Amino acid sequence: MSDQPTTDATVASITPEALKDRIDEPDGDVFLLDVRSESDFAEWRIEGAETVNYPYFELLDGIPEALAEQLPEDRQITVLCAKGGSSEMIAENLQEAGYDVDHLERGMKGWARIYEYQELDVDADATVAQYRRPSSGCLAYFVADGDEAAVIDPLRAFTDEYVQDARALGVDLTYALDTHIHADHVSGIRALAAETGATPVLPEAADDRGVEYDREYETVGDGDTITVGDTDIEVLHTPGHTTGMTAYKVGDVLFTGDGLFTESVARPDLEDPDAAKDAARTLYESLQEQVLPLPDDTVIAPAHFSESATANDDGSYTAELGDLVDRMDALTMDEEPFVEFIVKGMPPRPANYEEIIAANLGREAPDDETAFELELGPNNCAASEEAMTD
């Protein structure tokens, strides 16, 4: 889709952060006109607001009657596109037609830059915080104790945020851990190592996929422990989503990566689509042997959330294990029904997932902007959510 900027802007703009605040207000009344192509809109969009999609190229000659019938005359309209240029032009046309309108600065690329930090109220001696990326549903975690800290599942695009937060808390980043080889975003463990001297950490089984990093890193296996200050990070190998999928436990918090979410379980086909059924059986064993025996009040802290996930009052995405067992059908199924259920109706694979995996294995080295472009869109790392929960 063309995204041409105008040279004489006369329409108001809104930052992605301000738009997110408006959407999050309890009585927020946000109306969006998304002028990207229908395919782009279908792939990913801004959730939580009333939205009409009408492609930009159909608006070049004015406002069609079909669209005018859908636009409110008594509410503000925010126009958005991919990068912010086309939306500005369309917003100007709407303003000239008498609508109350603004446009989203930097479009969906700007929306993808939003990153939120929330400290979690959990039973751990360490400070545990969750990072949220609303555009893709990616979650990462900051664990700090004493003068040391670790980041779990960091995104390369937000390296500066982790560094700034460590500085604000007066701690040194000593570890950067991945739960597995991600397929939806470019990992930040090497970027953090380069920026801070933190030690990159990968699960042993993830390393077995043929990692080719240009710097030293450590590997961990089931039963190992990493120490941050006086806090132990316990390592639990939980394969299924990938062969290397690993969870980390701090106090009553289990960072499950892509093995278990608050609304679904992992999809088993991103590492080897031809072995999806075998991977689903492995996932069943991991859940039954490593995760479900934990206490019911164990806090499940996943690496992603989807639009069907329900946020906590503080905006975070966590849930107690016992609650998930009560409402998630997949966690109480026998093995064969579980396998059949998980492999059927899986959603589309994440955009550019093969290139992202190659980058995270160290086989490709995209620059920062290319890496950011690769991961635009939803994560799609969960199994189908149809009938997943009661």
Catalytic positions, written as ranges: 81
Long-range contacts of 353-357 (CB under 8 A, 24+ apart): 353/183, 353/184, 353/270, 356/182, 356/183, 356/184, 356/185, 356/186, 357/181, 357/182, 357/183, 357/270
Angle between helices 189-196 and 159-169 (to 10 degrees): 50
Alpha-carbon span 29 to 13, nearest angstrom: 17
What type of residue is 89? M
The answer to whether 124 and 253 have CB atoms below 8 angstroms apart is yes
Alpha-carbon span 377 to 109, nearest angstrom: 10
Alpha-carbon span 63 to 108, nearest angstrom: 22
User: Percent helix, strand and coil across the chain, each rounded to 5?
Assistant: 30, 25, 45
